[in-house]
Amino acid sequence: MSHSLFRTSLIGCLLAVSLLMGSASAQTAPEIEYLFPAGAQRGTRVEVLLGGKFMPGPCGLVVTGVGTASDNSTVTDRFAVTVAPDAQLRPAEVRIIAAQGGSPPFPFLIGDLPEIIHTQSEEVRELKLPVTINGRFHPAGEIHQFTLDLNAGQQIVCAATTRAIRSPLDATLRLLDPAGQVVASSTPQRSADSLLVFRASQPGRFTLQVFDFQLVRSPQHIYRLTVTDGPWLDRTFPAGVQENGERDVTLYGWNLPGGDGRSMPHRLQVGAAETHELTLPNCANRLSLIVGPNPESIEVEPNDIGEQAPQITPPLTVNGRLGTPGDIDAYAFNANKGARFAIEVASTALGFPADPALSVQDAAGKTLIELDDGPNSRDPSLRFTAPADGRFVVVLREHSRQGGDEFIYRLRIVPLQPDFAARVDVSAFALQSGQTLKLPVKVERIDGLEADLEVTAVDLPSGITVQPQPVPKSATATVQLPLIAAAKLGSVSGLVRIIVRTTDPQHPRQKAALIAENPQATSGSQSLWIAISPEVPFTLKTTATILEAPRLAAFSFPVTVERKAGFTGAIRLVGVEPDRRGTVVPLEGNIAAESPQGTIPLIIQHGVTEGTTHRCRVMGVAEVLDAAGKPCLVFHVAGGSMSMGCQPSQLTLTAEPAVVMGRLGVPVQIRVQLMRRAAMEPVTLRIEQPAGVPPLNSDPVTVNADQSTATLTLNFARDAIIPPRTNLTIQAESSRGGLPIYGRATFRLEKP
């Protein structure tokens, strides 16, 4: 538990990444926004779509934890990965790599069940259990539907995963019976972000629906949905066990072997690791149990305050439940004056609903110390020093006086055990050839540790060295760890680990620093990415003025550049971080060689309200030579945003009639009126082919500059199936000065 204490006690007092010294290290690095599918079955190969930002072009790719290397060494928007048959069933890590560093690791889940990928062309897909479905609500679709045949008495578990794959989707599951009536809906559970359990009373074909609670769609709205009629584990009691030996626990879940299917006894063979991965044959998920070095016991009721408080002897971890509303659990122990103890509760951190409050009383019932929440957790953790010889009582209660079978806790009472831990709040960084970078490493001495410590780095790429640094004796210290790149070193990179270790050869100990993505993160990786980067020889600037831009016409936004001495190359301009409302689409621009300025075209989309402001940022990409003379791409992202005020469209369309009747074999004519607010090239009109509508036979029409009307003709084959009602879009496209201009109009197609 001391390591978890360290994690929470540091948040809010850590140094920012800006302490990294050197110009290259402060620059933006690539970032992964999503992977789809977000995982794969062991022993399979899958093509993965990658969404990222700050990617200057084809980037390097590093995949760890899949058992085999990725099939690709570079990636733009997709890559293929092969998962080894014996890969561990835990999240793999995917990183994209550029000359200026690597992205934070992005999780890629490894499963053991057959997997399918939902495609937008599927209205309904039949499921064969067990299965894991990979789905995404983009670019269309508000509800995904799957059918499955159930027998009477058959119970299914449907579990959606979103948080573990960093998806914003608020997944909602709903099951419909053969008559179309809703018979079950999902709820959040500790073993899934959204869980639906249903037992069929009658045989039939059921429909499983998946949707976002707010019906939001985006490339990041991704899910993994497991549907099984086999075992599914929800929790265990106790929630942890002592290391090295056979241990008995009770499993809780659904479709468990024997008994009522909701619980079963189980014996574990536990090693010395900090966690034990638990599953069953044919089980669709796994649980992770805490493994501790101290003796463990199980709560025995009654154990209320006073004479009922059982006597315990630290060090000990007690596994208990606040089983009824208002339940109070108490444990008594003897201590001599001056004895110091760590008293810690784990419940919220284990995914249970309890909000425990903790106190220590003397033999007379006087409260000596109490704590409700920790600094960044609802789980309290305190340090207690016995004021005199005697009997003391640890009292545990639920803050809001709730209780139940799932209000499980682990209460750890141990004499203070000095320890240490470390973290780094950046997951990747870059430095230039011949440069020394000082990496801030936060080290905490826990419970009065006095041992001499030093910080160092291991697994460094060739050409990069480190100077180990001593750790001050203070309780917390930020150690600046020098990492030195050799002169004329090319673009080398790799994963490294930051280590804190004791310097006494008689008592050797070491720990790897937690590599967090930011100061607020409470979890992370064991490795960070280091890269040797060429100097970026330019910086971009944009105007802070809001410029007026017409809707649906490419608007050239000006961008200026400050070049460093000797750099005259061309710069490609790329729009990044456009307005999250999807109102701005950036095109690619450029700054010519030796030029001090250029432009990037931006398009404000259809439906945007006139007078509103919309934003986008710009990234410049250029090719330079690294210290070894090898060409590579570097980039710079201009500070601030490009801001545009929406103005009326330069090309407006009107379609007549607004409603047309679709008759098989009968041509339908649509008259289009055009209004131009600026000179432009001839306009091409065409009807977009929407999904779910039979193929439309409609040839494009060109409208010259001296024309203001045109006619589009629709034809349906005699065997076509016309939908009862649907909206069709007429798309107009022209250009001015080489930049595109668009227009749109809609009409409704109805079946007579």
**Residue 9 domain-assigned (yes or no):** no
User: Per the structure block, which two tokens stand in for 242?
Assistant: 């002592």
Radius of gyration of the chain (CA): 31
User: Per the structure block, which two tokens stand in for 718?
Assistant: 């005699």
Total domain count, the chain: 7
Instruction: For residue range 325-336, list pLDDT tens digits in order.
Output: 999 999 999 999
CB 346 within 8 A of CB 275: no
How far apart, in whole angstroms, are the C-alpha atoms of residue 372 and residue 359? 8
Q: What is the pLDDT of residue 580?
A: 75
Point out the least confidently predicted range of 112-116, 121-125, 394-398, 657-661.
Answer: 121-125
SS3 call for 164: helix
Phi/psi region, residue 606 (left: phi>0; alpha: psi -120 to 50; beta: rest), is beta
Among residues 532, 558, 584, the one where a domain terminates is 532
Instruction: For residue range 508-547, list pLDDT tens digits in order.
Output: 999 999 998 877 777 888 899 998 888 899 999 999 999 9
Task: Give yes or no: residues 353 and 394 share one domain.
Answer: yes
Q: What is the pLDDT of residue 259?
A: 83
Looking at per-residue pLDDT, the higher value among 655 and 140 belongs to: 655
Task: Give yes or no: residues 208 and 97 share one domain.
Answer: no
Q: Give 183-192's long-range contacts (Cβ < 8 A, gap of 24+).
A: 186/158, 186/160, 189/159, 189/234, 190/234, 190/235, 190/351, 190/352, 190/406, 191/159, 191/232, 191/233, 191/234, 191/235, 191/253, 191/285, 191/287, 192/159, 192/160, 192/161
SS3 call for 2: helix
Q: For the chain, give the percent of residues with pLDDT over 70.
A: 93
Task: Give yes or no: residues 386 and 482 share one domain.
Answer: no
Domain of residue 671, CATH code: 2.60.40.2410
How far apart, in whole angstroms, are the C-alpha atoms of residue 85 and residue 68? 10
Residue 599 corresponds to which amino acid? T
Under the banding of pLDDT at 50, 70 and 90, the label for residue 5 is: very low
Q: Examine the pLDDT at 14 and tell me if it is beyond 60.
A: no
Q: For residues 281-290, give the mean pLDDT.
A: 94
Among residues 367, 390, 415, the one where a domain terminates is 415
Task: Give yes or no: residues 84 and 124 share one domain.
Answer: no
Task: Give yes or no: residues 427 and 521 share one domain.
Answer: yes
Q: What is the mean pLDDT of the chain?
A: 90
Q: What is the pLDDT of residue 222?
A: 96
Global confidence as pTM: 0.84
Task: Give yes or no: residues 425 and 467 share one domain.
Answer: yes
**Residue 575 domain-assigned (yes or no):** yes
Q: In 238-286, where do the E strands start and end?
A: 240-242, 245-254, 263-270, 275-278
- Is residue 539 within a helix (H) or strand (E), and if so which, with residue range? strand 538-542
**Residue 13 domain-assigned (yes or no):** no
Domain hosting residue 470, numbered range: 420-532
Q: What is the pLDDT of residue 6?
A: 30
CB 359 within 8 A of CB 309: no
User: In angstroms, how far is the first alpha carbon of the chain from the final one?
Assistant: 71
Contacts of 506 (CB under 8 A, 6+ apart): none
Contacts of 98 (CB under 8 A, 6+ apart): 29, 30, 54, 55, 56, 59, 60, 531, 633, 635
Q: For residues 17-46, give the mean pLDDT.
A: 73
How far apart, in whole angstroms, are the C-alpha atoms of residue 626 and residue 99? 9
Q: What is the pLDDT of residue 690?
A: 66
CB 110 within 8 A of CB 39: yes
Task: Give yes or no: residues 205 and 136 share one domain.
Answer: yes
Q: For residues 24-49, give the mean pLDDT.
A: 85
Q: Examine the pLDDT at 7 and tell me if it is beyond 50.
A: no
Q: Examine the pLDDT at 121 and tell me if it is beyond 80.
A: no
**Residue 308 domain-assigned (yes or no):** yes
**Residue 19 domain-assigned (yes or no):** no
Domain of residue 513, CATH code: 2.60.40.10
Q: What is the pLDDT of residue 721?
A: 67
How far apart, in whole angstroms, are the C-alpha atoms of residue 392 and residue 364? 9
Q: For residues 57-63, give the mean pLDDT.
A: 89
Instruction: Please name the residue that has the structure tokens 């945007």.
Output: 608
Q: What is the pLDDT of residue 719?
A: 66
Looking at per-residue pLDDT, the higher value among 70 and 377 belongs to: 377
